[in-house]
Structures are given as structure tokens and as C-alpha cells.
Structure 1
Amino acid sequence: YSPDFNPIENAFAKLKTLLRKAAARTVEQLWRVIGESLDAFTPNECANYFAATGYDAY
């Protein structure tokens, strides 16, 4: 297993950064921030996560 070749690891790293910035203090706030954070991931960015690991993303 190599996290460098797993596109979900890159997405999780970005999500964790966004969650730290939001500093949600309750479960309800955390779920709200997670939902809002999904808008930060564009379809093109997600395709690039896969393309960077050698997968055919298109």
C-alpha cells in the first residue's frame, strides 16, 4: 500500500485542512462544514487526483 498512489488520500488531506480552518466545535457544526467543504472539490480537481496517480480519469 502506498498513500502516494491513492487519490483518496489527497482528497482527505484537503478536507482535513478545510475542517481545521473551520474549527467546528459541535457535531452539528462539523457535519455542516463537511457538507459545505464538498463544494471546494471541483470535478476537474477530482479527475486530476486520479490522473496524477496514473489512472485514466477522462
Structure 2
Amino acid sequence: MKAFVDKDTCIGCGLCPSISPEVFDMQEDGKAGVIVDEVPAGSEDSAKEAEENCPVNAIKVE
């Protein structure tokens, strides 16, 4: 499973790293980013929760 952040859509609210810090973080540009190549085992649910709760739908987890 992989996670993606659309930097053009992201508003930098910080919700995704607060839900799934093992997958997402806030980067120097003030927007969220993915910090792993593959979503770690056991983190799939939190990554999907971050995707579902992103206020601007900037996250894809597939």
C-alpha cells in the first residue's frame, strides 16, 4: 500500500501527521508529505483514516 499527497491541493492543516505520524509529516514547504515508500504493516488503517479526513482530499492511499 502506498500513500500520496497532492502538494497543489494540500493546505498544510497538519491533520494527516496527527492521525498517521508514521506515514505523513509536515515538510519545509509547510505542506504534508509522505515519509515512507510503503505504508508500514499495522499503519494501513491510520493512513486510510488520514485520507478520509483530509479536508481538501489531497491524500490518496492505495
| Superposition TM-score tier, normalisation by shorter sequence | 0.3 to 0.5
**TM-score scaled by length of structure 2:** 0.34
Q: Which has the higher helix share?
A: 1
